[in-house]
Structure 1
């Protein structure tokens, strides 16, 4: 697959170069390049959260997680019309919640105590290669991309493309795109279920040789069996329309159609049944089963943006999205950002985002599902809740890129902070930093 990807990129580049040479031999009018020179973006974010509804512990327990995400994006002009963009990133996280996939490395396992097991941390590696071509009049843009990512228990391969049409003196724009992601799980199951299954549905062996079960001592999670499917495929089509309505106002409308099939539940998230007697090791409630969700899902997000230029110092940027799917989940998102220009180079922007969600029909809180149900989850990401996000940012822009580092001019620096608060008790802080360099 790597050889095919490289060959495809080289072939597209060669075809574009030949076409450009033929055009240049018969046409001498000046044409502005789509991208004047190579641009390099260094991006970094730090995310930290905590809560009281760990999905790994069936809806009860700490949700401590921290994540550091360094990313580099390189955009290279291949000629006047074509641009190749390479986006490479890492996401290194540490999670007390996922560490409790196996909380039994401690003599006193508890959903409120961090585990030091292997699942307590992981790293996601991702790579996206995008090729875009613009017509001579810059009114038609085609693009295609290939992507891949991998982490300990999950890998993904994606590809897609799109077409953008500008008209009405570039005051109107239509975009259509499609994407396919072919993902694969390497399932990890809660330790007690894994040992019970590997022992032939017996309590002799594994952790049961080292711990005493309390409560219902006849622990028997007979509903559990490993998932027969390990693939998750996602298909999407996106449509958008943008319009410059007046000298001061611009708006856009968008719609996405998304369909997923395969293993859509998370294998290591526990579920507890109200009609099954509870079994414990110390404070940790032993799972009755894992999350079970349908193997297909249809999603429909619809949204709009409206930007209004108040004066040379202030722009109002607004966003709204409605989402619904066939799991019974629906949501509304509203966002406002107010960039305030302090001078030619510095802009500050306060921002606010409100989100409200009606939970999935498959969700129920900790220890309230029934063993007679077909589908069940206690993941509060699928519950009913409201959320508020408050943020502030500072942006520095120098179109001349006068300051230089290693021969590259600094064009833009962006720093943002956001605080996120959810009505179910989850709180998070996000700090992001970005710097853009331009080859000179």
Structure 2
């Protein structure tokens, strides 16, 4: 899994220098938003580094290290290279519902089984992955008021390979107070899950894994070893300097995803009229998804503080709609340090094919998934960041945040024993990050 798309599960890092010159700060903020640069002289390499820990209570834990190198050349060309390494371990919900008795599940590889205690949410405690990601971006002016950038992306996990390219064109006008940005990216991903790809709605094989017929029986629940998907994103954005203190940005993005979008590690419980599980069926999702979003952000520089407020609305053809409100308020101190509280709220509706379980008395739907990540939910983040510019000009910062994700009932009736189970358990997590720029 990608840390970045669970990674709605982690928050973005924001950086802003403590500048006494307000106009200069706004100019730098504009360039940071657009990926362009205002310096015309060659500079030494600049490095940003960060280490992040993300831990859910009794579930997934993640550790991520990042180093970003930036080189500015005399002709206003800029090279950015970023290396990211992260690892995930712990227990991940497999999609099945809790039951009033001990449940047995087969591991995704087909090698071995694990048991879940009565009334506990089924979690696969063998979840583990390591990802290495490399991004490179080249930016340069094409003509007066025109700046272009192009980049490449490589990400490799144990069972996942992602390759991508992107390009961006920024056009300045209105005396450089307004910038229009056009961006396009394309990704090709290959998924090779351990144990292969399960057949949609095939029942999870349970029994004696040492049996001589086990391997063939398990293979009969598979459709292959690997699958691919492509993602094409288009973005158009407008950034406007309102006055010497205020900067505003508005973006629209359109994303089309084609290919294998099912999660091969997720199942749905098939229950009877008493709410008791009769089998675990592998999920099935559509092979196409179109997402759209609008994003608004505003930064305002007071005398001794900076306010950053943003709102994002996303909708797709899976019938998921989400609202995100994010605000940060940076208090600037005279010793070149700052304190930045952070509040984020997220609300999401369920996909049209989401359901927490399947009823054996009803025909199987075309698509179904019990993955809480595409279910109805709300989440909030509360955090605090402290940053300091050191005597040698380098910057240090530490960020601590609490994240709470709360799945909710989208209107499903729980029969029999399920009425006494927690079908929508909350997830609480702690985020700790250290960053150093030099």
Considering the TM-score relative to the shorter chain, is it more than 0.5? yes
- Shift in Å at residue 93 of structure 1? 1.1
- Cα deviation for residue 279 of structure 1 reads 8.8
Distance apart, 1:326 and its partner CA: 0.1
**What corresponds to 1:23 in structure 2?**
none
1:102 equivalent in alignment to 2:93:
no
Match of 1:335 in 2: 326
2: CA distance between counterparts of 1:204 and 1:417? 45
Q: TM-score, normalised by structure 2?
A: 0.74
Give SS of 1:226's match: strand
Is structure 2 residue 131 aligned with structure 1 residue 128? no
TM-score between the two structures when normalised by the length of structure 1 = 0.74
Which of 249, 270, 275 is matched with 1:273 structurally? 270
Q: Which structure would you say has the larger Rg? A: 1
Match of 1:412 in 2: 395
Structure 1 residue 77, shift from structure 2 partner:
2.9
Alpha-carbon separation, structure 2, partners of 1:190 and 1:279: 28
Equivalence for 2:404: 421
Distance 2:78 2:161 in 1: 27
| C-alpha distance in structure 2 between counterparts of 1:169 and 1:313, whole Å | 28
Query: Quick one: distance in 1 between partners of 2:288 and 2:152?
Result: 24
* Structure 1 pair 72–263 and aligned structure 2 pair: CA distance change class (3 A): same
Structure 1 residues 101 and 414 mapped into 2: Cα distance closer, same or farther (>3 Å)? farther
For 1:152 and 1:159, locate their aligned partners in 2 and report how far apart those are by CA, in whole Å: 22
Q: What is the aligned partner in structure 1 of residue 209 from structure 2?
A: 206
Aligned length: 365
State the Cα distance separating 1:372 from its structure 2 match.
1.8
Secondary structure at the aligned position of 2:92 is classed as helix
State yes or no: 1:182 paired with 2:179. no
Q: Which has the higher helix share?
A: 1
From the superposition, tell whether residues 187 and 343 of structure 1 become closer, same or farther in structure 2 (CA, over 3 Å).
same
Residue 44 (structure 1) aligns with:
51
The answer on whether the counterparts of 2:107 and 2:113 sit within 8 Å (CA) in structure 1 is no
Give the equivalent residue in structure 2 for 1:153.
Answer: 159
Structure 1 distance, partners of 2:41, 2:93, is 45
Alpha-carbon distance between aligned partners in 2 of 1:428 and 1:315, rounded to the nearest angstrom: 27
Cα deviation for residue 75 of structure 1 reads: 1.0
Offset of 1:412 from its aligned partner?
1.8
RMSD of the alignment, in Å? Answer: 3.5
Q: 1:122 to 1:107 in 2, by over 3 A?
A: closer
Report if the CA contact (8 A) 1:105-1:116 is conserved. no
Residues 107 and 114 in structure 2, CA contact (< 8 A), matched pair in contact too: no
Q: Aligned residue for 2:347?
A: 356
* CA 114–269 in structure 1, closer or farther in 2 if over 3 Å, else same: closer
Give the deviation of 1:180 after TM superposition. 0.4
Q: Name the counterpart of 1:166.
A: 172
Counterparts of 1:330 and 1:36, CA distance in 2: 44
- 2:316 is aligned with 1:325: yes
Q: Contact 1:190/1:269 (CA < 8 Å) preserved in 2? A: no
Q: What SS does the corresponding residue of 2:257 show, helix, strand or coil?
A: strand
CA 1:252 to 1:235, structure 2 compared with 1: closer, same or farther past 3 Å? same
Partner of 2:150: 144
Q: What's 2:15 paired with?
A: none
Q: Spell out structure 1 runs of 4+ moving beyond 4 A.
A: 98-101, 103-117, 201-205, 207-211, 220-225, 275-280, 367-371
Q: CA 1:390 to 1:116, structure 2 compared with 1: closer, same or farther past 3 Å?
A: closer
Structure 1 residues 430 and 148, CA, compared in 2 at 3 Å: closer, same or farther?
same
Does residue 238 in structure 1 map to residue 243 in structure 2? Answer: no
Give 1:313's aligned residue.
Answer: 304
Question: Counterpart of 2:368?
Answer: 376
Contact 1:106 1:115 in 2 (8 A): no
Q: 1 CA distance for matches of 2:374 and 2:157?
A: 23
Q: Kindly tell me: are residues 286 and 151 of structure 1, through their superposed partners in 2, closer, same or farther at Cα, counting changes over 3 Å?
A: farther
